[in-house]
Chains A and B, each alone.
Chain A
Amino acid sequence: MHATEETLWSLALYGLAVLSLVALMLGLSYALGQQRRSRATDEPFESGIVSVGSGRLRLSVAYFVVAILFVIFDLEVVFLYAWAAAFDAVGLAGFVEALIFILVLLAALAYLWREGALDWGPRQRSLERTERER
């Protein structure tokens, strides 16, 4: 298998290049940079800066709503990419189908907007209601 060997060689060469680049960067910064020790030098976070507070932040649920909206509308784009790739082949029928798809999503967006899922900050209606009722 001549072809296989060739591919493997180039892969090995690539790995070697990556390793040497990393070694070069680390070595240069070690040789050229200044050496200083202070209280927080050995801490993993941004070595040299004392970290403030806990890393386990309690994110608001509003953040979660936006994250889910992002995931859903992100996937909408996947279908539109597929349509774009086949734009010439599918023609007018494809255009109508994509239009229906977007209109359905628009209806969902209108519902979300009315529900207050898009209100950012203290004016979040649905959450406000649950908090008040608790």
Chain B
Amino acid sequence: MTELPVEHGLLFAAALFCIGLVGVLIRRNLIFILMSLELMLNATAFVFVLGGALHGNADGQVMFLMILTLAAAEIAVALALVVHLYRRYRSLDADRLEAMKG
């Protein structure tokens, strides 16, 4: 078993996080925006697992479980809202949400 340097893991997580962030910013379909959000959360969860492995304590893994739970709870609420959005506009385009300005 070889030890990977921490920097590699951190770079991987940062790359994943950035991919998610860019996805949130440029995607127009709400489902893809939600997927990108999940990607960002998973990137942060990876950092915690990495930290747990590095320091040899369980805190990181506990945080990982918490983040998974948050992701599920968030997606449950988000999908309910997406269903409402679809019923109203017959579309999943996030640009439809632009009634309020000022």
Do A and B share a direct contact in the complex (Cβ within 8 angstroms)? Answer: yes
Tell me the A residues contacting B by CB distance below 8 Å.
1, 3-4, 7, 61, 64, 68, 71-72, 74-75, 78-79, 82
B75: nearest residue on chain A (CB-CB)?
A71
Whether A71 contacts B2 by the Cβ 8 Å rule is: no
Whether B2 contacts A3 by the Cβ 8 Å rule is: yes
Question: B76 at interface (Cβ–Cβ under 8 A)?
Answer: yes
Measured between beta carbons, the chain A residues less than 8 angstroms from B72 are: 71-72, 74-75
21 A/B residue pairs, CB under 8 Å, sorted by A: A1-B2, A3-B1, A3-B2, A4-B2, A7-B2, A61-B83, A68-B76, A68-B80, A71-B72, A71-B76, A72-B72, A72-B73, A72-B76, A75-B68, A75-B72, A78-B65, A78-B68, A78-B69, A79-B69, A82-B62, A82-B65
B70: nearest residue on chain A (CB-CB)?
A75
Complex alpha-carbon distance, A78 and B30, angstroms: 28
Question: B79 at interface (Cβ–Cβ under 8 A)?
Answer: yes
- Shortest A58–chain B CB gap in Å is 11
How many residues belonging to B are interface residues under a CB distance threshold of 8 Å? 13
Whether A79 contacts B65 by the Cβ 8 Å rule is: yes
- Shortest B5–chain A CB gap in Å is 12
- Top 3 nearest A-B pairs by Cβ distance? A68-B76, A75-B72, A71-B72
Interface residues of B in 35-93 (CB under 8 A from A): 62, 65, 68-69, 72-73, 75-76, 79-80, 83
Complex alpha-carbon distance, A127 and B85, angstroms: 16
Complex alpha-carbon distance, A64 and B84, angstroms: 12
Extra contacts besides A72-B73, A82-B65 (12): CB < 8 Å: A7-B2, A61-B83, A64-B79, A68-B76, A68-B80, A72-B72, A72-B76, A74-B72, A75-B68, A75-B72, A79-B65, A82-B62
Complex alpha-carbon distance, A130 and B83, angstroms: 13
- Shortest B92–chain A CB gap in Å is 13
Measured between beta carbons, the chain A residues less than 8 angstroms from B73 are: 72
Measured between beta carbons, the chain B residues less than 8 angstroms from A4 are: 2
